[in-house]
Amino acid sequence: MYKAVVWIITLIFLLFSGSSNTAVARIAYETPTQTSKLVTILRNYIVFFFTGP
């Protein structure tokens, strides 16, 4: 439960901070290699919060 709350708060913070003008917002304009790197980073981040230490 705690990890889910932290994950949701983090996502909300990223959405409403300046991150919308960064790589997340430019994902449609990047090459597939860059996009797959971003997806891998996001997946690892999510897995860490649900299965982390």
For the stretch 40-52, pLDDT in tens is: 777 777 777 777 6
Domain boundaries, the chain: 2-51
For the stretch 8-34, pLDDT in tens is: 877 777 666 554 455 555 555 555 666
Separation CA 12–CA 34 (nearest Å): 23
Separation CA 38–CA 45 (nearest Å): 11
Longest dimension (CA), the chain: 36
pLDDT at residue 6, as a whole number: 82
Separation CA 22–CA 18 (nearest Å): 7
pLDDT at residue 19, as a whole number: 47
